[in-house]
Structures are given as C-alpha cells and as structure tokens.
Structure 1
C-alpha cells in the first residue's frame, strides 16, 4: 500500500493533495496486496468525497476495477456513501458495471441495506446508459472501461473453458 493509498483511505485530504502535487505516486496505482484497489477505491469506500474529487481531478480513473471487478462505485454502494455516488455520477463515471458475480453497485447497495443508495443508483443507471448512448452518437470519448481487467476476464474465461474441456 502506497503513501497515497493510505492517505486516501484515511481521508487525509491535504496529504493526498500534496502527494499528487509532487507526483510521488500515480492516482491509478493498484495495490496487489489489497485486491488491486486504487486510492480512489479506498476514498470511495470510506466516503471521503473531497478526496475522491481531488483524485479524479489528478487523473484517477473511476472505471478501474479490483480483481473481483469492483469499481469505486461498488465500494461506495457497499458502505452507503451516497455523496460519493452522486459525485461519481455527476462526472459520468461508470456506475452500472457488473462485477465478476454479475452484481452492479445498485445490487450491492441493496444487499447491504442502503436503500437510499439503491434508489439513487437505479435511477442513475438509466441516466448513465442514456449518456453512454448519446456520447457514442456524438463521438464523445468516455473513460468507462478498465482494459487490464477486461483482458484478465478474457483469460479467466478461457481457463474455465479449458478446464471444462479437460474434465470431460
């Protein structure tokens, strides 16, 4: 876990700002010891809205996923962080992506009993999908895909198919 990961998790806004200003650490660095979480995942999970904002302003990608496919929106939904979810939605972050189990952030919010987050996310999902269509029609590029995670998903699927074939 880097100094930036720790500061983001603790909500140490000034420290996060200084680390980013000095470019000591990439805001998109994944921590392999913590399921490939980025500083943004930590800040979102802990509800540190202003820390989320500054990370994004410095290039943090809200589409990056953990090894289980969770985006920062999944973590915010799990811990009932409505302000973070609203912020992510306002910047057109992908809040409607499924994890490895097929669960979207709205489902995660439901599982953990965060009704206010689940209601918001259900409405926001439709808006997110509509914006994605509009952006495609107007040629607006969206940063809503984690290429590394998608590639890993392909490898995992190929391994599952290979295992099934071998077992037969």
Structure 2
C-alpha cells in the first residue's frame, strides 16, 4: 500500500512539474525538484515524449531551464520525432535558451528524425537571430567533439524509437505503393535501402509536436495540461 501511495505521489508531482515548467512557475518548479520525488527527465507520452526541459525551451523560460539543468535535466533527450529542446527554442525564436544550452556544451546541432537541425528549423520559421547564432555555434559544437570535450548526446530511448518509426513508415509506404497512390509509396515502398526521410517545409511531423498546451479545467480542478484535441 505504501509503495502504491508513493508511486501515485511521484506521478502527481511529475504532472505538476511539467505544468509548472510550462507556465514558468519558478518557485513551484524549485520546490518540486528539491523534494527529489520526481525525475526531471521524465518523458510525457501524452505530449510526444516531451520532458520538462522541452517545455522550458518551448516557452522561453530561461531561468526555469537553468534550474532544471542544475537538477540533472538532460538536453539531449528528444521527442517522438527527435526534437531536442534546441529545436523548440529555434522554432520559437528563444535565443536565450539556445545560448544557455550552447554554453553548457549541449549538442545544439543534432538532427531530428527527418535530418533537420535546430538551425534548419530556425530557417524554416524565419528566426533570423537564432539562425545567425547557430551559424556560429554549430562549428563550435563540432570543434568540441574533435577536442574530445564531453557532450551529452545519446538518448537510448530515441535510438529504439527511431528504429520503430522507420519500420512503421516504411511499412505504410509499401502499403501505399501497392495500392498505387500517394508519394510516400514511391519514396519508401520501392526503395531497396532505407535512407533518411525527406525534410518538409514546414515539416509535417513537426507541426504536431510543437503545439503549446491548452490550460483547461481538469477533473481534479485547476489548470491541467491537456493535449490539443486537434493534434
């Protein structure tokens, strides 16, 4: 019984952590993290595997982002299509977030599932200041690797998830090809060797991943993060 209560308590705290980060409630985030009952790297499956750090990047909450990083949040963890916090910051034009991530040697040049780096996302969404910064930062990331400077770049969950996503899309493409309709079948179903998926402008998968939350009234009262009904 005690174990069940503790598990439910941790789950509740994790829900509160994601929500507090999303709305930029620094004091609540700090209190939850100091209690040590929740994992700052928890991926929320209802929100495309976003961690609290993703929400800080989406909203541009730089101080909350720093707080999460101080408590072990990992900037290399990605969503279900391979977006890092840097991708979201680049999309929304949050230059301060990108600067913090780069200062801590995060791999802000990492590509997503479709091969798009944060700089490419900034270009797609017209974030010129972010593009200029990333033009400077990307070579530095490369230099850090050559110099052997440790960078936290590996997300084991994503490595497995990427393979599943590849197989799923390949299977869907083959099915479409057999029916003789749709460009996905041509690109994937007829290929003898699986290659990188094409980038789209704007990327279709990305538009689903970057939506901000609707803060609606939940069954327990108060604002709860709810996935958008049209996502």
Q: TM-score, normalised by structure 2?
A: 0.66
Paired position in structure 2 for 1:79: 92
> Match for 2:119 among 76, 96, 106?
106
The structural deviation recorded for 1:151 is 1.7
| Secondary structure class of the residue paired with 1:59 | coil
The structural deviation recorded for 1:2 is 1.0
Unpaired runs of 5+ in structure 1?
none
Equivalents in 1 of 2:141, 2:39: separation in Å? Answer: 27
Over alpha carbons, which structure has the higher Rg?
A: 2
Which has the larger displacement, 10-19 or 153-162?
Answer: 153-162
Equivalents in 2 of 1:65, 1:157: separation in Å? Answer: 16
1:50 and 2:63 aligned? yes
1:149 and 2:161 aligned? no
Alignment length (residue pairs): 164
Per chain length, whose mean CA-contact separation is higher, i.e. which structure has more relative contact order (CA < 8 Å, sep 6+)? 1
Paired position in structure 1 for 2:129: 116
Coordinate RMSD, CA, aligned: 1.8
The structural deviation recorded for 1:101 is 1.5
Unpaired runs of 5+ in structure 2?
1-13, 179-189, 191-231
The structural deviation recorded for 1:165 is 7.5
The structural deviation recorded for 1:142 is 2.7
The structural deviation recorded for 1:52 is 0.4
| Secondary structure class of the residue paired with 1:2 | helix
Q: TM-score, normalised by structure 1?
A: 0.90
The structural deviation recorded for 1:130 is 0.9
1:32 and 2:45 aligned? yes
